[in-house]
Amino acid sequence: MDFIVRLAEKKDMQSVFNLITELAVFEKEPDAVEITVQDLERDGFSEKPKFKVFVAEQENNIIGIALFYERYSTWKGRTIHLEDLIVTKEKQKIGAGKALYAAVLKYAYNNNYNRVAWEVIDWNTNAVEFYKSTGANYLNDWSVVQMDKEGLAKFIENN
């Protein structure tokens, strides 16, 4: 392994933002990223951080991230949601993604979380097969449901 995995620092947020943007392009949503580097700095490094990020770093360059945060399940209690796991395209296949994934799972285990959950796009068969190969449960009978800011506004206006 010629890279290291560590918890991100505030100074890393530009690189984290760049990888989030790269992921949005990969997922065919190039204009979907609304946050800024300043949002990441504020929300990740305030008195009560909203998330944590592991980064994979190679030769002082961040080549991958795993961004996650705590949730609470009415069935399981304390859980972690893995929001994004990405390795920049030119550095894939060197083990950085697996190392980031392992770092999140070890963090969850060592801190007594009861579950780690995440979403994966069904057409990303490499990711789906990777997760299955690690023993993760692929729940294809559940659907993701979301309401964006515009939907929230319309709902409030009409109710």
- Sketch out the chain's domains with CATH numbers: 4-158 (3.40.630.30)
pTM: 0.93
Catalytic residue among 69, 72, 101, 131: 131
Tell me the three-class secondary structure of 83-149, residue by residue.
Answer: EEEEECHHHCCCCHHHHHHHHHHHHHHHCCCCEEECCCCCCCHHHHHHHHHCCCCCCCCCCCCCCCH
Tracing tokens 């890279």 back to the chain, one arrives at 3
Alpha carbons 50 and 42: distance in angstroms, whole number: 9
Tokens of 124: 């990303």
Per-residue pLDDT of the chain (159 residues; tens, 9 = 90+): 699 999 999 999 999 999 999 999 999 999 999 999 999 999 999 999 999 999 999 999 999 999 999 999 999 999 999 999 999 999 999 999 999 999 999 999 999 999 999 999 989 999 999 999 999 999 988 888 999 899 999 999 999
Residue 131 designated active-site: yes
